[in-house]
């Protein structure tokens, strides 16, 4: 028997409701603004631990993607802005001499970022900016060869605003590199079902990160001059975030 979409939505809603009741204390803390403060402090430490396995699993994909960085400037000249830089998990893939500016909304990532920078003497560090990627007023127009974004827009409500800002700060011919987990495109799959059921809980514990982003549509809407994009099932043991898009868009 096939469930129609109305029945399916009702089932998803019931599961979400059960989870919301179980996690009611956390939701109350969230609405009181307390949970946000706790996460701002605790998330960088939590993330620095949980991200280790993901980064190992994604290593080959990152290596292949970032080998294209050299197309966009000689390594000594390459000016790269990493938005939502977190702990600085991508530094090992950047070419020698590359000038890196990091931007994140959460200052508490700085201690983890500093550790990664200390281990990356092949790079020149141009600074750490605390700002939201959808409003990067401290970054000049057409000042970057490359903008890098590896799971970030999952955490930002307005993806298109981030893409517009990335385009603004890129030089003409510069590129926006991305690796993002996205909503499953196979609506009939278990992954899609659990992404929907668990999304509110996931957002609560993963600092606003959404499992339901159709980021490929925003990339289309951002109207880059060229878009190289692949949909993959990422080789990660985190099953809910297996659907990924990976590639780069040229201004
Ligand atoms: C899932 S983590 C990924 C970190 C890093 N890009 C990586 O690949 O390991 C998301 C990061 O984006 C940051 N972030 C969330 N919302 C942001 C925003 N509006 N502007 C800039 N950074 C943001 C978070 O603080 C966090 O460091």
Residue-level pLDDT at 3: 67
Cα of 36 from ligand 1 centre, angstroms: 15
pTM of the prediction? 0.95
Average pLDDT over residues 30-58: 92
Phi and psi at 104, nearest 5°, equal -150, 150
Mean pLDDT of the chain: 95
3-state secondary structure the chain: CCCCHHHHHHHHHHHHHHHHHHCHHHHHHHHCCHHHHHHHHHHHHHHHHHHHHHHHHCHHHHHHHHHHHHHHCCCCCCEEEEECCCCCCCHHHCCCCCEEEEEECCHHHHHHHHHHHHCCCCCEEEEEEECCCCCCCCCCCCCEEEEEECCCHHHCCCHHHHHHHHHHHEEEEEEEEEEEECCCCCCCCHHHHHHHHHHHHHHHHCCCCCCCCCHHHHHHHCCCCEEEEEEEECCCCCHHHCEEEEEEEEC
Q: Whose CA is nearest to atom 26 of ligand 1?
A: 86
pLDDT for 53 beyond 70:
yes
pLDDT for 75 beyond 80:
no
What atom of ligand 1 comes closest to residue 89's alpha carbon?
Answer: 9
Q: What is the tens place of the pLDDT at every residue in 87-130? A: 999 999 999 999 999 999 999 999 999 999 999 999 999 999 99
Cα of 147 from ligand 1 centre, angstroms: 14
Token pair listed for 233: 């099932």
Contact 84 CB / ligand 1 (< 6 Å) = yes
Cα of 2 from ligand 1 centre, angstroms: 39
Task: Please state which CATH class domain 52-193+207-250 belongs to.
Answer: alpha beta
Cα of 7 from ligand 1 centre, angstroms: 35
Q: What is the tens place of the pLDDT at every residue in 199-228? A: 999 999 999 999 999 999 999 999 999 999
């Amino acid at each position: 028997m096939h469930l129609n979409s109305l029945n399916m939505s009702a089932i998803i809603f019931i599961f979400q409701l059960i989870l919301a009741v179980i996690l009611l204390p956390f939701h109350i803390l969230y609405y009181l603004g307390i949970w946000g403060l706790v996460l701002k402090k605790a998330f960088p430490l939590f993330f620095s631990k949980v991200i280790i396995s993901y980064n190992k699993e994604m290593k080959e994909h990152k290596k292949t993607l970032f080998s294209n960085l050299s197309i966009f400037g000689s390594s000594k000249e390459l000016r790269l802005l990493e938005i939502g830089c977190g702990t600085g998990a991508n530094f090992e893939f950047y070419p020698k001499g590359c000038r890196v500016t990091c931007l994140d909304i959460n200052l508490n990532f700085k201690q983890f970022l500093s550790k990664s920078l200390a281990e990356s003497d092949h790079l020149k560090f141009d600074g750490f900016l605390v700002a939201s990627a959808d409003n990067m007023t401290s970054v000049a127009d057409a000042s970057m060869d490359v903008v890098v974004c590896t799971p970030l827009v999952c955490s930002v409500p307005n993806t298109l605003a981030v893409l517009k800002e990335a385009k603004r700060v890129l030089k003409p011919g510069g590129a926006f590199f991305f690796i993002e987990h996205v909503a499953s495109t196979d609506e009939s799959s278990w992954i899609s079902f659990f992404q929907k059921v668990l999304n509110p809980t996931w957002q609560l514990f993963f600092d606003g990160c959404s499992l339901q982003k159709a980021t490929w549509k925003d990339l289309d809407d951002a109207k880059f001059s060229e878009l190289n994009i692949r949909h993959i099932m990422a080789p990660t043991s985190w099953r809910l975030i297996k659907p990924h898009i990976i590639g780069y868009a040229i201004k």
